[in-house]
A and B are shown apart, each in its own frame.
Chain A
Amino acid sequence: MACPLLVLAAYDAGRVMEAAALRGPRVAEQALALVQQIERSGTQDELQRLKDINDFFNRRVNFREDAATWGLADYWASPLESLERRAGDCEDYAIAKYFSLAAAGVPTARLRMVYVRARMQGQSLAHMVLAYHAEPGAEPLILDNLRPEVLPASQRPDLTPVFSFNTEGLWQGVGQVTAGDPLARLSLWRDLVAKVRSEGFL
């Protein structure tokens, strides 16, 4: 049924567990670990949260192309989907980290998904990372799956930023959003955000 599911804009651990339970006991187990991690991180400073969440996903999710995981050329997976497959490509890492950090209480204004050009072994490839700005204008910290540690941007000369975006302004002016609204799913990012919200993140 295409009943528009009304989603409140807030992290809800219970709803995350419900959504995970629907995907099976294995996912529920992973989700429980994530929820516990988010709960633990919530009491720590932001730098520690960055490290915890970065390590959580770098450890549990293996890099694999979307074509192999989903059978699609490009697929933006939600955190639960990545945990279900235990696999993802660069944007799936960034997505999972973005929403988990947001759930752990990091303001989304400080987080940015960044399209970067990465140079690896003399090759240039399109890549996506998560950048954390402690202050506006300050040098960001980069959360990446190519290099598992959290590093300032200046220590990543292999990355050239192209364009950044986040969820700021995406839902401005409305407290509620209908996850079933077909027009809200017109881009990969919007589609994903709607999906993640329905799973209880954000």
Chain B
Amino acid sequence: MSLMRQIAWLVLAVVLAALVGAVGLSTLSLRELMQTQLALKNADNAQSLALALSQQQGDAELIKLLVSAQFDTGAYEFVRWRDAKGATLFERSGAAPQGQSPGWFRELVPIAARPGVAQVSSGWNAIGAIELKSHAGYAHDALWLASRRLLAWLLVVGMVAAVAAWAGLRRIRRPLDAAVAQAEGVLAGSYGQVAEPRVPELQRLIRAMNAMVQRVRDLFEAQAGQLLVLREQVHHDALTGVSTRKHFLAELDAALQRDDGPVVAGLVLVRLRDLAGLNARLGHEVVDDVLLTVVAALQAYPESVPGCRVGRLNGGDFALWLPAEGVAAETAQALADALRASLPAFGPGVQVALGAVELPRERPSNVWLGEADAALARAEHLSESRGGFVVDVMAEPGVGREQGEGLWREQLREAVALQRGRLVEFPVRDRAGQVLHLECPLQLQLDGAHQPASSWLPLAVRARLTAQVDLFAVSLALQAIAADGRARCINVAPASLADAAFLPQLRELLGQAPQAARGLLLDLAEAAATEHFDRLLELGRQLRPLGVKLGLEHAGAGLAQVEKLYQAGLDYVKLDASVLLGVAGEAGRAAFVRGMVIMLRSLALKVYGEGVVDAMDAQALWDCELDGLTGPWVTASGGV
């Protein structure tokens, strides 16, 4: 029984005991009083009757008359005149009148008053004794009335006391519930603080808990801060602060692999020409300023568009990844315009060439870089003849949908409505090669073929269909889990999280298959934690009791910036390929990953790695003590 219920029962029992005790004791003492008073009345009445009878000179008729008169004018059970030997000479007695008190009450608290006895004499002669007894019925009525009135009053007092106790309990309960919720939160990995109550004992408890939570937060923040520094050192160019070549290439690979990007994307290369010559002419410091100016122009894009990446490939070469269709050309032109305005300040001979490509994202990264390099080379060639700022844009013709978007959207709606689709499965394995769970991206049947998410997800986001798509995927996963009992993981789009109807429908769906729900994992992008943090908390609160596990996917550099990660109550984090690629070859990257793992472990989160492509990296990641890996290498090799 819960503490509150025990206290409530205790209070009820005490109030009841006090009530019953008070009524019982009062009734008993009242009965005692009435019994004594009745006995005294009997004795006094007998005495005064005897006094009167003693004055009648032993006239029996007169005595009988007086006895009758006394009996008739009073409330007597009997009045008896006995002779000296005890034989009754005359007696008047009558049945007790019907009282108001019920029979059970008279039996429960009987009033037994002694009869009164007094001696009667005639001159010197003793002529017997008078014995009389009053009716107790009236006393019973009075006792009954008094007990009832007392009970009624005490009931009122008891009810007032119960209401007061209830209010008091509620007052205690609120902080207690908060403390319990906080403790449960800590158990679930959510380190929230609660307001201190005014009850001293609870105040101390909550203060201790808050201090503990604060310490965990401080620890976490210190680790996160260290990681940020480490990340700056490992992933970023010391001078310009943009990604290093190695890191940019990893980011590019990851961006090409992820399934929620656009079909067609763009890449812009920017080259500050003749860096060696500039160094010689203008000096290192001025050239550094020139480089910073170029980077400042480039940084405007990632700062305003999520998913954009900037990297310094080497010396004076920079790259800008644009995760959007049809913007590469105008971005390159805009960049050229911006640089044309700012660079002449450093003097003549500062020349920049830009090459831009727009390609389907399914092309491998070496194709992307090759095409972009070719475009840049053409621009440089042109600038040889023209000088100044040259832009060359190469877009592959025939990219994009042949049909209009409207038709495509119709097909998407139909596929979701008719539930035409399937889950493909990629294992996440632990170090021993055991499958931890299956990552199950959804493929929808469009145009008669099963299409991966990368081909329809952007459209689904625009058409606000993600919630239905995600629910469809969850229902497929639940069916599959029910069939073979293996845990499965589904991606949930941040856009679905923002949809108010999504969570209730998801709950209902899970409620229909409570057994399978225990084997379900839901992946959310980092963006879900940064943009919809409250929704994420609510999701965790509602789904955790059903046994569903929640985690972040594609977690990378942004993770350290997720405010209140310690409060989110997640189960696992999947590290993005951009962080993991190439760990085997570079100690700094491995150190960063190790730092991430330690930080996330301290929050009781499991850490998985995404997009592992070769055995070297896999070994390095196992050395970083990740809990599980996924990716092409894991799928192909079985993880060992």
B122-130, B140-148, B172-180, B187-195: which lies at the interface: B122-130
The reply to whether A168 and B117 form a contact with Cβ atoms under 8 Å apart is: yes
The reply to whether A165 and B47 form a contact with Cβ atoms under 8 Å apart is: yes
Distance in Å from the Cβ of A52 to the closest Cβ of chain B? 23
Across the interface, which residues of B come within 8 angstroms of A114, CB to CB? 121, 124
Task: Confirm or deny: A173 has a beta carbon within 8 angstroms of a beta carbon on chain B.
Answer: yes
Task: Confirm or deny: B260 has a beta carbon within 8 angstroms of a beta carbon on chain A.
Answer: no
Task: Confirm or deny: A25 has a beta carbon within 8 angstroms of a beta carbon on chain B.
Answer: no
Taken together as a complex, chains A and B put the C-alpha atoms of A166 and B54 apart, in Å, by 14
The reply to whether A137 and B119 form a contact with Cβ atoms under 8 Å apart is: no
| B120 nearest in chain A by CB position | A164
The reply to whether B54 and A140 form a contact with Cβ atoms under 8 Å apart is: no
Across the interface, which residues of A come within 8 angstroms of B126, CB to CB? 112, 133, 136-137, 164
The reply to whether A137 and B115 form a contact with Cβ atoms under 8 Å apart is: no
Taken together as a complex, chains A and B put the C-alpha atoms of A196 and B40 apart, in Å, by 20
- Per-residue CB contact flags for chain A residues 161-182 toward chain B (1 = under 8 Å, else 0) read 1111110111011100000010
The reply to whether A112 and B119 form a contact with Cβ atoms under 8 Å apart is: yes
Residues of B within 8 Å of A, CB-based: how many? 27
Task: Confirm or deny: B114 has a beta carbon within 8 angstroms of a beta carbon on chain A.
Answer: yes
Across the interface, which residues of A come within 8 angstroms of B116, CB to CB? 169
Across the interface, which residues of A come within 8 angstroms of B115, CB to CB? 169, 172-173
Taken together as a complex, chains A and B put the C-alpha atoms of A133 and B123 apart, in Å, by 13
Taken together as a complex, chains A and B put the C-alpha atoms of A168 and B47 apart, in Å, by 12
Q: Please classify how large the interface on chain A is, using the bins under 10, 10 to 19, 20 to 34, 35 or more.
A: 20 to 34
Which of B55, B83, B126 has most A Cβ within 10 Å?
A: B126
Distance in Å from the Cβ of A78 to the closest Cβ of chain B? 21
The reply to whether A139 and B85 form a contact with Cβ atoms under 8 Å apart is: no
The reply to whether A163 and B121 form a contact with Cβ atoms under 8 Å apart is: yes
Contact of A112 among B47, B51, B55, B121 (CB under 8 A): B121
Task: Confirm or deny: A32 has a beta carbon within 8 angstroms of a beta carbon on chain B.
Answer: no
Task: Confirm or deny: B118 has a beta carbon within 8 angstroms of a beta carbon on chain A.
Answer: yes
Task: Confirm or deny: A22 has a beta carbon within 8 angstroms of a beta carbon on chain B.
Answer: no
Taken together as a complex, chains A and B put the C-alpha atoms of A111 and B124 apart, in Å, by 12
Distance in Å from the Cβ of A125 to the closest Cβ of chain B? 19
- Per-residue CB contact flags for chain B residues 128-154 toward chain A (1 = under 8 Å, else 0) read 010100000000000000000000000
The reply to whether B83 and A136 form a contact with Cβ atoms under 8 Å apart is: yes
Across the interface, which residues of B come within 8 angstroms of A181, CB to CB? 36
Task: Confirm or deny: B93 has a beta carbon within 8 angstroms of a beta carbon on chain A.
Answer: no
| A138 nearest in chain B by CB position | B125
- Per-residue CB contact flags for chain B residues 31-49 toward chain A (1 = under 8 Å, else 0) read 0000011001001001100
Given known pairs A137-B125, A166-B119, the reply for A183 and B84 (CB within 8 Å) is no
- Per-residue CB contact flags for chain A residues 130-156 toward chain B (1 = under 8 Å, else 0) read 010100110110000000000001000
Task: Confirm or deny: A72 has a beta carbon within 8 angstroms of a beta carbon on chain B.
Answer: no
Task: Confirm or deny: A186 has a beta carbon within 8 angstroms of a beta carbon on chain B.
Answer: yes
Taken together as a complex, chains A and B put the C-alpha atoms of A131 and B123 apart, in Å, by 11
Given known pairs A137-B126, A173-B114, the reply for A164 and B121 (CB within 8 Å) is yes
Across the interface, which residues of A come within 8 angstroms of B47, CB to CB? 165
Across the interface, which residues of A come within 8 angstroms of B50, CB to CB? 163, 165
The reply to whether B124 and A131 form a contact with Cβ atoms under 8 Å apart is: yes
The reply to whether B51 and A139 form a contact with Cβ atoms under 8 Å apart is: no
The reply to whether B124 and A153 form a contact with Cβ atoms under 8 Å apart is: yes
Taken together as a complex, chains A and B put the C-alpha atoms of A131 and B125 apart, in Å, by 10
The reply to whether B129 and A168 form a contact with Cβ atoms under 8 Å apart is: yes
Across the interface, which residues of B come within 8 angstroms of A139, CB to CB? 124
| B35 nearest in chain A by CB position | A183
Contact of A140 among B43, B118, B124 (CB under 8 A): B124
Given known pairs A161-B121, A170-B117, A172-B114, the reply for A183 and B131 (CB within 8 Å) is no
Distance in Å from the Cβ of B541 to the closest Cβ of chain A? 68
Taken together as a complex, chains A and B put the C-alpha atoms of A118 and B574 apart, in Å, by 125
Across the interface, which residues of A come within 8 angstroms of B119, CB to CB? 112, 164-166, 168-169
Distance in Å from the Cβ of B213 to the closest Cβ of chain A? 62
Taken together as a complex, chains A and B put the C-alpha atoms of A144 and B129 apart, in Å, by 24
Taken together as a complex, chains A and B put the C-alpha atoms of A137 and B81 apart, in Å, by 15
Contact of B84 among A136, A170, A186 (CB under 8 A): A136
Residues in B78-122 with C-beta less than 8 Å from chain A: 83-85, 114-119, 121
Given known pairs A136-B84, A165-B119, A168-B129, the reply for A183 and B51 (CB within 8 Å) is no
- Per-residue CB contact flags for chain A residues 182-193 toward chain B (1 = under 8 Å, else 0) read 010010000000
Across the interface, which residues of A come within 8 angstroms of B121, CB to CB? 112, 114, 161, 163-164
Taken together as a complex, chains A and B put the C-alpha atoms of A93 and B363 apart, in Å, by 138
Given known pairs A163-B54, A183-B37, the reply for A169 and B117 (CB within 8 Å) is yes
Distance in Å from the Cβ of A38 to the closest Cβ of chain B? 24
Distance in Å from the Cβ of A116 to the closest Cβ of chain B? 9
Distance in Å from the Cβ of A72 to the closest Cβ of chain B? 23
Taken together as a complex, chains A and B put the C-alpha atoms of A164 and B125 apart, in Å, by 10
Across the interface, which residues of B come within 8 angstroms of A137, CB to CB? 84, 125-127
| B116 nearest in chain A by CB position | A169
Taken together as a complex, chains A and B put the C-alpha atoms of A133 and B54 apart, in Å, by 17
Across the interface, which residues of B come within 8 angstroms of A183, CB to CB? 36-37, 40
Given known pairs A136-B83, A183-B36, the reply for A172 and B117 (CB within 8 Å) is yes
Residues in A34-54 with C-beta less than 8 Å from chain B: none
Taken together as a complex, chains A and B put the C-alpha atoms of A133 and B83 apart, in Å, by 14
The reply to whether A165 and B118 form a contact with Cβ atoms under 8 Å apart is: yes
Across the interface, which residues of A come within 8 angstroms of B131, CB to CB? 169
Across the interface, which residues of A come within 8 angstroms of B123, CB to CB? 161
Taken together as a complex, chains A and B put the C-alpha atoms of A139 and B260 apart, in Å, by 133
Across the interface, which residues of A come within 8 angstroms of B36, CB to CB? 181, 183
Closest 7 CB pairs of A and B: A169-B117, A136-B84, A153-B124, A164-B121, A183-B36, A173-B114, A163-B54
User: Can you sample 30 A-B contacts with CB below 8 Å?
Assistant: A109-B84, A112-B119, A112-B121, A133-B126, A136-B84, A136-B85, A136-B126, A137-B84, A139-B124, A140-B124, A161-B123, A161-B124, A162-B54, A163-B50, A163-B51, A164-B121, A164-B126, A165-B47, A165-B50, A165-B118, A165-B119, A168-B117, A169-B46, A169-B118, A169-B129, A170-B117, A172-B115, A172-B117, A181-B36, A186-B40
Give A residues with C-beta under 8 Å from B.
109, 112, 114, 131, 133, 136-137, 139-140, 153, 161-166, 168-170, 172-174, 181, 183, 186
9 extra interface residue pairs, beta carbon distance < 8 Å, beyond A168-B117, A168-B129, A169-B119: A112-B121, A112-B126, A136-B126, A137-B84, A153-B124, A161-B123, A165-B118, A169-B116, A181-B36
